[in-house]
C-alpha cells in the first residue's frame, strides 16, 4: 500500500489568496449581484491562471487559494486579474495577497506557515490592491515592469516577527494608505506618542514653554534604542483636538500615550505626566513634579528617565542610558528665550520666522557660545529661502554663517549633520557629500528628517523606487506630517502617476491648508493629467491677493493649458516683471512651465539656462519634472543636465534620457 506521505512534496512557491471585499454584505443586499460578481471573478481568475501557469488549489465562498512556481508570474497574473475586474462594470472589489515561501503540497491542498502568512497579507488589503510580502518583493527588484512601494512593517497574527509589506503600484492598481490598514495589525509594543503638554499657566503666552518641554521629552525618548517614538509633527497634530486617547493611539500606531500639563508660577513649575495603555485605555502610571525653574535641565532628564523606566516595566526590556538630557551651561532666561524663538519659527509664516530670528539674536548677544541658537538661526533663514519669502541665495548665505558657528561650537549635534546635508544638496548639488552627512546623522540618531532627506535626494537623482521606500518609512514615523505626503505626491508626479499624486497633494493640503508649494504642484498635476479646468478652478478660488505669484502663475499655466493664449501671455508678462524681485526663483519655475505648455521650447530652455547660471535649488527637482519631456533629447537640455548632476554618485554623462 502506498504511503500517503509519498504523494506530498515540499517546495518553494508563490502562494496567492484572493477574496471579494464586503461579499457577505453584497449577498445580503442583492443575492443576484453577488453571484454575478463571484462568477465573473472566477472566470477572470481561471483564464489568467492558465496564461501565467498558476495552479488553483481551492475555491472557498468568495475566496481562492492558488500557487505558482514563479513569483514574477504570480504578480503578473494578479495585475491582469485586478485590471480586468476594475476596467468594466460591475467592478469586482477584489483583494489579493501573495507570499513566497516553503509549502507542503499534495496536489489537492497546501499547508505550512507560508500559507498563513499569505492569508494574513491578503486580509490586510483594500479593494483593487495587491499586497505582497518582503520576501516576494525581493524577487521583483530586477523586473522593471513590476513596480512596488513599501507600506511599512506590520505585526501579523500568528507570525513571530514584524513583516514588511509592499503594494504593487503599477498603473490601474490601488495602493492603499497605511492608515487604511488600521485595525488589521497590532500596535508596535515598544512604542509611545508624547502628546503636547497642556499649558496650565495663568498666561497664555507661556504656551511656548509647554510646547518646548514636550519637544524635549520627545527628543530624549528618541535616543532610546528599541523604542519607537512618534515624531513631533504627528504628536502636535492632536494639540487642542478633542480626540479619544484610544483613537489617537490607533491613528499613530503606538501602544502607549504620554499626556500631561505644565504650570509656571514665578520661579516654580509643576509638571504632571501620565502613561496610558492604548489597548485597554487605562492609566498605568502618573507623577507630579514640583520643581524650581533653575533646575529645568535636571528636571527634563529626571522626567524622561522616569517615563522610560515605567514604560520599560510595562512593555518589556530596552536599554536606557544614564542621562537622556544634557545640561548646557546657560541661564534659564536664555533657555526660555530659545524655546520661545523655536515656537515662533515652527509656525513657518514670514512674520513668525522673523520674530523668532529677532529673539535668537538676543540669545546670541547674551550667550554667544550656545550652539542651538545658531542652529535655530540657520533653520530660520533656510525656511525663509525654501518657502520663497526671500531670495534663496541670500537666505542660504546668511544661514550658512550661523551653521558654521554651531559646528565650531559642537559638531556632534545630529542637526548639524542634517543641515550640512541640505547645504551639500541645495547649494552645492553635491550628492555624495549630502549622503555622507546623512549617514553620519543616521549613525547618531536616525530621526524622521533622515528618511525625508534621503527620499528627497534620491528623487532628485531619479531613483524613484528607492525614494518611495524611504518616504514610506517617514510616513510611518510621522503620519500627520504634510511634508511627508507632499514628498510622496512629488514622487508619483515624477512617475507620471497623476491620480496618485493628486491624492497625496490633497492629503498634504488637508494637513496644512496654506501650503503654497502643495497647492501649486496640485494644480500642475491637474494640468498634466489633462484636467486644466480643475487647475483653473483651484487657483481662481484661492483666498490670496491677486498679485501673489502663486495666483498669477497658477492662473497663467492653467490658461496656457486651456488654450487661452491672450490670458496666458498677459500672465507671463506679469511673471517676467517679478523676475527682478525677491520672488525670482518662484516665478522662474512658473515661466518655464508656461512656456513648455504653450510649446515655446526654445524660451523654456533659455530660462532653464538662467536657473543653471543662477544656481537655483529648484533645478534639482525641475529637471525630473515630466513637463520637460519634450526637450529632454535636445543637446541644450543634455548639457544643462550634465552640469546639474555632475556630482551625482550615479552620474555617467549623457544621462539626460533617464
Structural domain 4-181, CATH architecture: 2-Layer Sandwich (3.30)
Q: Answer yes or no: is pLDDT of 657 > 60.
A: no
All 3 cell numbers of residue 273?
Answer: 505626566
- Burial class from Cβ neighbours inside 10 Å (0-12, 13-18, 19+) for residue 655 reads middle
Cα dihedral 226, 227, 232, 235, rounded to 10, equals 150
pLDDT greater at residue 37 or residue 1: 37
User: Helix/strand/coil (H, E, C) string of 553-605?
Assistant: HHHHHHHHHCCCHHHHHHHHHHHHHHCCCCCHHHHHHHHHHHHHHCCCHHHHH
Q: What is the pLDDT, as a whole number, of residue 655?
A: 39
DSSP code at position 548? S
Q: What is the pLDDT, as a whole number, of residue 652?
A: 41
Coil, strand or helix: which one is 319? coil
Instruction: Kindly state the average pLDDT of the residues 234-244.
Output: 90
Q: What is the pLDDT, as a whole number, of residue 656?
A: 38
CATH fold group of domain 531-658: 1.25.40
Instruction: Kindly state the average pLDDT of the residues 624-643.
Output: 95
Mean pLDDT of the chain: 87
Instruction: Kindly state the average pLDDT of the residues 481-488.
Output: 92
Q: What is the pLDDT, as a whole number, of residue 653?
A: 40
* Spatial CA neighbour of 78 closest among 166, 150, 177: 166
Q: Answer yes or no: is pLDDT of 323 > 90.
A: no
Half-sphere exposure of 229 (CA within 13 A, CB side): 27
pLDDT greater at residue 515 or residue 629: 629
Instruction: Kindly state the average pLDDT of the residues 602-627.
Output: 93
340-361 burial, b at 16+ Cβ within 10 Å, e below that, comes to bbbbbbbebeeebbebbbebbe
Q: What is the pLDDT, as a whole number, of residue 142?
A: 72
Contacts of 284 (CB under 8 A, 6+ apart): 275, 276, 277, 310, 314
pTM (whole model) above 0.85: no
Structural domain 188-315, CATH architecture: 3-Layer(aba) Sandwich (3.40)
Contacts of 583 (CB under 8 A, 6+ apart): 388, 549
Kindly tell me the number of DSSP H helices and DSSP E strands found in the chain: 27, 14
Q: Answer yes or no: is pLDDT of 556 > 50.
A: yes
Coil, strand or helix: which one is 305? helix
The residues facing 104 across adjacent strands are 10, 111
Q: What is the pLDDT, as a whole number, of residue 600?
A: 95
* Distance separating alpha carbons of residues 228 and 316, to the nearest angstrom: 13
Domain ranges of the chain: 4-181, 188-315, 531-658
Instruction: Kindly state the average pLDDT of the residues 520-541.
Output: 95
* Distance separating alpha carbons of residues 173 and 513, to the nearest angstrom: 28
Amino acid at each position: 500500500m502506498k504511503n500517503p506521505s509519498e504523494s506530498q512534496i515540499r517546495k518553494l512557491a508563490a502562494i496567492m489568496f484572493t477574496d471579494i471585499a464586503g461579499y457577505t454584505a453584497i449577498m445580503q443586499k442583492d443575492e443576484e449581484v453577488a453571484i454575478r460578481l463571484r462568477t465573473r471573478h472566477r472566470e477572470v481568475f481561471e483564464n489568467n491562471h492558465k496564461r501565467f501557469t498558476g495552479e488553483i488549489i481551492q475555491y472557498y465562498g468568495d475566496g481562492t487559494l492558488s500557487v505558482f512556481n514563479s513569483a514574477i508570474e504570480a504578480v503578473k497574473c494578479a495585475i491582469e486579474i485586478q485590471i480586468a475586474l476594475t476596467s468594466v462594470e460591475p467592478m469586482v472589489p477584489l483583494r489579493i495577497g501573495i507570499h513566497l515561501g516553503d509549502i507542503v503540497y499534495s496536489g489537492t491542498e497546501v499547508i505550512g506557515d507560508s500559507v498563513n502568512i499569505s492569508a494574513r497579507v491578503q486580509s490586510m488589503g483594500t479593494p483593487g490592491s495587491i499586497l505582497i510580502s518582503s520576501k516576494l518583493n525581493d524577487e521583483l527588484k530586477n523586473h522593471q515592469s513590476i513596480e512596488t512601494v513599501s507600506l511599512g512593517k506590520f505585526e501579523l497574527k500568528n507570525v513571530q516577527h514584524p513583516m514588511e509589506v509592499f503594494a504593487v503600484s503599477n498603473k490601474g492598481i490601488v495602493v492603499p494608505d497605511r492608515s487604511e490598514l488600521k485595525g488589521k495589525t497590532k500596535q508596535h509594543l515598544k512604542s509611545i506618542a508624547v502628546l503636547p503638554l497642556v499649558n496650565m499657566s495663568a498666561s497664555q503666552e507661556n504656551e511656548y514653554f509647554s510646547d518646548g518641554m514636550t519637544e524635549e521629552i520627545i527628543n530624549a525618548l528618541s535616543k532610546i534604542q528599541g523604542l519607537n517614538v512618534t515624531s513631533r509633527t504627528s504628536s502636535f497634530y492632536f494639540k487642542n483636538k478633542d480626540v479619544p486617547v484610544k483613537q489617537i493611539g490607533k491613528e499613530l500606531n503606538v501602544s502607549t500615550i504620554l499626556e500631561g500639563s505644565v504650570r509656571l508660577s514665578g520661579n516654580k513649575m509643576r509638571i504632571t505626566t501620565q502613561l496610558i495603555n492604548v489597548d485597554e485605555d487605562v492609566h498605568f502610571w502618573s507623577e507630579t513634579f514640583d520643581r524650581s525653574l533653575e533646575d529645568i535641565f535636571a528636571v527634563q532628564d529626571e522626567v524622561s528617565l522616569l517615563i522610560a523606566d515605567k514604560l520599560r516595566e510595562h512593555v518589556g526590556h530596552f536599554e536606557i542610558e544614564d542621562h537622556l538630557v544634557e545640561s548646557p551651561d546657560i541661564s534659564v532666561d536664555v533657555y526660555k528665550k530659545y524655546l520661545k524663538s523655536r515656537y515662533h519659527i515652527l509656525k513657518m509664516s514670514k512674520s513668525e520666522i522673523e520674530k523668532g530670528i529677532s529673539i535668537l539674536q538676543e540669545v546670541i548677544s547674551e550667550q554667544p557660545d550656545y550652539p542651538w541658537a545658531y542652529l535655530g538661526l540657520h533653520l530660520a533663514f533656510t525656511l525663509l529661502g525654501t518657502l520663497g519669502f526671500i531670495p534663496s541665495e541670500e537666505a542660504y548665505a546668511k544661514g550658512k554663517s550661523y551653521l558654521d558657528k554651531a559646528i565650531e561650537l559642537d559638531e556632534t549635534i545630529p542637526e548639524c549633520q542634517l543641515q550640512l546635508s541640505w547645504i551639500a544638496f541645495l547649494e552645492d548639488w553635491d550628492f555624495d557629500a549630502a549622503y555622507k552627512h546623512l549617514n553620519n546623522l543616521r549613525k547618531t540618531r536616525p530621526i524622521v528628517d533622515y528618511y525625508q532627506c534621503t527620499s528627497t535626494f534620491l528623487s532628485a537623482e531619479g531613483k524613484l523606487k528607492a525614494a518611495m521606500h524611504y518616504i514610506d518609512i517617514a510616513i510611518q514615523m510621522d503620519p500627520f506630517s504634510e511634508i511627508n505626503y507632499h514628498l510622496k505626491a512629488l514622487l508619483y508626479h515624477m512617475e507620471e502617476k497623476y491620480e496618485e499624486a493628486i491624492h497625496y497633494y490633497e492629503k498634504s493640503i488637508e494637513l496644512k491648508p496654506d501650503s503654497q508649494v502643495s497647492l501649486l504642484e496640485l494644480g500642475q498635476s491637474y494640468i498634466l493629467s489633462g484636467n486644466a479646468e480643475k487647475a483653473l478652478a483651484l487657483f481662481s478660488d484661492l483666498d490670496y491677493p491677486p498679485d501673489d505669484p502663486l495666483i498669477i502663475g497658477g492662473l497663467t499655466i492653467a490658461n496656457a493649458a486651456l488654450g487661452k493664449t491672450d490670458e496666458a501671455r498677459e500672465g507671463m508678462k506679469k511673471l517676467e516683471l517679478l523676475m527682478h524681485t525677491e520672488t525670482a526663483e518662484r516665478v522662474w519655475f512658473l515661466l518655464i512651465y508656461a512656456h513648455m505648455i504653450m510649446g515655446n521650447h526654445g524660451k523654456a530652455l533659455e530660462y532653464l539656462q538662467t536657473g543653471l547660471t543662477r544656481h537655483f535649488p529648484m533645478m534639482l527637482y525641475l529637471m525630473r519634472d515630466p513637463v520637460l519631456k519634450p526637450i529632454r533629447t535636445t543637446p541644450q537640455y543634455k548639457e544643462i543636465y550634465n552640469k546639474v548632476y555632475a556630482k551625482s554618485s550615479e552620474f555617467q554623462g549623457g544621462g539626460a534620457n533617464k
